[in-house]
Amino acid sequence: MKKVELKMQLKKVDIKTLVFFVVVAFLTQGSSDNGCGDGTPILDSNGAANGASHLNGVHQAGADPNAPNQVAGDPNGADPNGNGSGDNGTANAGDECSSDNQCGGGQCVGGSCEATVPLRISLVWEVQQDIDLHVITPSGEELYYRNREGAYGGRFSQDGCLQTRCDEGTNTEMVKWNSTPNEGTYEIYAVNYGGGQAVNFQLDILNEGQRERFQGSVGASAGARSGTVAITVGGSTGTGELQISSHRHETWHAGTNQTFTVDTENDDIDRVQYVADGQYDLGSSTRSPNFSNAYNFNSLGEHKIEAKGYGNGDFELDNHEITIVVTDNDGGLPNPGQGAVVSEKLLAKKILEMGGISLYNIQVSGRNDGADSRSNMTASSNGSLAANSSYGNAPGGRTRLNPKMLQAMYLLNQVHGYTFRVTSIAGGSHSAGSQHYYGHAFDVDTINGRSVSGNPTLARQFEAQCAALGASLVLGPGDAGHSTHVHCQWN
């Protein structure tokens, strides 16, 4: 999320009732469509009758299923040293779900798969009580159940209750933008429509590819209003005036010894604490103005780094979170046979930047169907599903790309020095049931500038390296149907 702040509000509900809210915590989670990721601020209420509010700076850890095809035990999750395997969910928008990894690149919101959009704001609650989502846009327009179509692209797309009648189980109200929303601050709050009981809720926000959740509550009186969550769309990455300056978001860094610094114009901040993956303390610094802090990572791969600025009695005043990838000094990562340590999205983005990996932009058959290897990689780098072809044995549809395969592809070039051309990943027509259709395999027709068909010894060396990197199946010249290319597959 580009910028998040919580505004403390004291709202008059009626002559007898004051409802006020306190920011208790930012709950930081892991990263990935199947892993652990973004922070989760908790918007809570304080029952004191005088309406006082305060910022506690209390933090907890939790699981975020946002980052693409996260594997169990990934550094974005609970155990940065563990390993595991991702899920290949392919449910469609609107299908029932219980976690993001069932939604094929989308997100599970209120038990239903939602496609990725530039901005989506969802209010989710569990009791049969009608509460309403209100979003005030930068232009001052208010989107809610009586104003469903915004002048600048926002649309109220889901109403959790109709005339105070709510479904049993999970209820959801949602405002989303299918095109780029206006830059600026969006203010979000909930209102208890009919009254009767207080309601705990969650705000689930997807903003420019990053996901944030806030826990909150609204009072029992009819018309009671929660505190306000304010998010900023567009502009510089970071929250408030504190930004990590030593590392940019989604960049790769060689060497486990990393030094972090921040820029801040908030003179009240006198200490900055650095946290990895929501729970691992990297240390704190009082060395203003940049609050430098060195840390030696004991696990390579993708990490969420959060800088938290404290002051005024050790309250958290500001924070900024980025994602980075830490490699060894040579750019190496662990063997993907034991599980990927970088998400599909960041691996795909990196591969597109590498000069040693060429990606075919049409099918070997000559078809130009948008399912070529370059289009597949580009889709994954944007957090989307890669397209299958729709001719011959190809099934059509879309799939995720296996991050173990992508990590091996990266290592083949970065560490083992192979340059190669990828002719097919998820697209093309292959044998019925081919693992290409599930994003688990890639084909190569040129290695180190030489054709596979004319250099069987080089092809076998490449196959052997794929196998050493955990490939479950390798085929090439000498195998039926593979005289012109090498096939490497990770199940």
Domain residue ranges in the chain: 3-233, 243-327, 336-489
Secondary structure letter of residue 31 according to DSSP:
B
Under the phi-then-psi rule, with left for phi > 0, alpha for psi from -120 to 50, and beta for the rest, what region is 409?
A: alpha
pLDDT digits (tens, 9 = 90+) for 272-312: 999 999 889 999 999 888 999 999 999 999 999 999 999 87
Percentage of the residues of the chain whose pLDDT score is greater than 90 = 50
What does the DSSP assignment read for 243-273?
Answer: EE-SS-TTEEEESSEEEE-EE---TT--EEE
Domain 336-489, CATH class in plain words: alpha beta
Helix, coil or strand: residue 468: helix
For residue 394 the two structure tokens come to: 């190809």
pLDDT of residue 205: 92
Residues whose CB falls within 8 Å of the CB of residue 373, separated by 6 or more in sequence, listed in order: 359, 360, 361, 422, 423, 424, 425, 427, 442
Is 315 exposed, middle or buried, given 0-12, 13-18 or 19+ CB atoms closer than 10 A? middle
Q: Mutual orientation of helices 403-414 and 456-468 as an angle, nearest 10°?
A: 120
What does the DSSP assignment read for 424-466?
Answer: ESS-S--STT-GGGGT-EEEEEEETTEESTT-HHHHHHHHHHH
Number of Cβ within 10 Å of residue 463's Cβ equals 24
Helices (H), 53-210: none
CATH fold for domain 243-327:
Immunoglobulin-like (2.60.40)
For residue 428, give the nearest of 489, 358, 369, 488 by alpha carbon.
Answer: 369
For residue 251, give the nearest of 344, 336, 328, 346 by alpha carbon.
Answer: 346
pLDDT of residue 379: 85
Question: What's this model's pTM, rounded to 2 decimal places?
Answer: 0.56
CA atoms within 13 A on the CB side of 267: 0
**Are the C-beta atoms of 275 and 288 separated by less than 8 Å?**
no
**Are the C-beta atoms of 393 and 428 separated by less than 8 Å?**
no
φ/ψ of 186, rounded to 5, equals -115, 125
pLDDT tens for the 491 residues of the chain, in order? 333 433 333 232 332 232 233 233 333 333 333 332 233 333 333 222 222 222 222 222 222 323 322 222 232 333 333 333 334 456 677 788 888 888 877 888 888 888 888 899 999 999 888 899 999 988 778 899 888 988 778 898 776 676 567 777 888 999 999 888 887 788 899 999 888 899 999 999 998 778 888 888 888 998 898 887 888 786 443 446 789 999 998 899 999 999 999 999 888 899 999 999 988 999 999 988 899 999 999 999 999 999 999 987 778 888 898 999 999 999 999 999 999 999 999 999 999 999 999 999 999 999 999 899 999 998 888 777 899 999 999 999 999 999 999 999 999 999 999 999 999 999 999 999 999 999 999 999 999 999 999 999 999 999 999 999 999 999 999 999 999 999 999 99
Distance of CA 332 to the CA centre of its chain: 23
Secondary structure letter of residue 35 according to DSSP:
T
Q: Which helix (H) or strand (E) holds 133?
A: strand 131-136
Distance of CA 68 to the CA centre of its chain: 6
**Are the C-beta atoms of 9 and 22 separated by less than 8 Å?**
no
Q: Alpha-carbon distance 263 to 126, whole Å? A: 41
Q: Alpha-carbon distance 77 to 84, whole Å? A: 11
Helices (H), 305-392: 344-353, 373-381
pLDDT of residue 331: 97
Q: Alpha-carbon distance 291 to 360, whole Å? A: 46
Q: Alpha-carbon distance 311 to 194, whole Å? A: 41
**Are the C-beta atoms of 276 and 321 separated by less than 8 Å?**
no
Q: How much is the CA Rg of the chain, to the nearest whole Å?
A: 24
Helix, coil or strand: residue 115: coil
Q: Alpha-carbon distance 452 to 140, whole Å? A: 61
For residue 300 the two structure tokens come to: 């390579």
Under the phi-then-psi rule, with left for phi > 0, alpha for psi from -120 to 50, and beta for the rest, what region is 373?
A: alpha
pLDDT of residue 91: 67
